[in-house]
């Protein structure tokens, strides 16, 4: 049986197998060698992820190969970083709780699969103008429910957790903004969300994962 890599996260992970998505790029790279398995949950934050963790990865969960997956990516924070007073407040998770939740998720995987490589991914940057032009739901106040500064705070918290837990991390919040015109080059501005990585963008994420 082939070994597996699990991708665990929110909608950015759930949609990663769309045409040209980062999950699809990983699956193509590891074709015939490793099965890349998506466990993405649109709209989820770390609080909700913790509630379903044992059902998503039950005791008998097969990691392929000798029973443990090669790696697990943990990609949450975009929804946690919603502003507490915006229309997306129901998804907001305070920064200190976000760190605790991430720590608990990493600890779960370390205990379940001690030899598995766990990789954290920070939330991406936010195109605030794009989100206002294309809100996910009606936004009567016309005020942003997410900001790039807030996303940056959660990205820093994710990096801090990775350091504390001794696991690697990909800082896509910083790396994407190093690309000229990142708002349009890296993010998809549609009726879905202006924080989703664009399938037509430069393949920063899969390259870093590899």
Token readout for 39 is: 């466990």
Question: What are the start-end ranges of the E strands in the chain?
Answer: 4-9, 35-40, 71-75, 117-121, 169-170, 187-188, 196-197
Token readout for 37 is: 């398995």
In sequence order, the 6+-apart residues with CB closer than 8 A to the CB of 110 are 118, 165
How far apart CA 143 and CA 205 sit, in angstroms, is: 29
Among residues 11, 104, 199, 201, which one is catalytic?
A: 11
- Pairing label, strands 169-170, 187-188: unpaired
**Alpha helices for 123-203 (secondary structure H):** 128-133, 148-165, 172-177, 182-185
Q: Rounded to the nearest 10 degrees, how much is the dihedral formed by the CA atoms of 110, 9, 93, 172?
A: 100
Indicate if 11 belongs to the active site: yes
Catalytic site residues? 11
């Amino acid at each position: 049986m082939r070994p597996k890599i699990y991708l665990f996260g929110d909608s950015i992970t759930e949609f990663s197998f769309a045409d040209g998505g980062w999950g699809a790029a990983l699956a193509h790279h590891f074709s015939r060698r490793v099965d890349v398995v998506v466990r993405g949950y649109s709209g989820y934050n770390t609080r909700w992820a913790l509630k379903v963790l044992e059902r998503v990865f039950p005791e008998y969960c097969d990691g392929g190969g000798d029973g443990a997956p090669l790696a697990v990516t943990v990609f949450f924070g975009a929804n946690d970083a919603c502003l507490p007073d915006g229309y997306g407040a129901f998804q907001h998770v305070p920064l200190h709780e976000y760190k605790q939740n991430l720590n608990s998720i990493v600890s779960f995987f370390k205990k379940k699969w001690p030899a598995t490589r766990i990789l954290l991914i920070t939330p991406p940057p936010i195109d605030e103008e794009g989100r206002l032009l294309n809100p996910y739901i009606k936004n009567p106040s016309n005020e942003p429910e997410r900001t790039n500064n807030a996303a940056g705070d959660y990205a820093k918290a994710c990096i801090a957790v990775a350091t504390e837990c001794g696991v690697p991390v990909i800082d896509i919040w910083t790396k994407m903004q190093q690309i000229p015109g990142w708002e349009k080059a890296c993010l998809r501005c549609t009726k879905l969300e202006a924080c989703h990585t664009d399938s037509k963008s430069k393949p920063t994420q899969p390259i870093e994962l590899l």
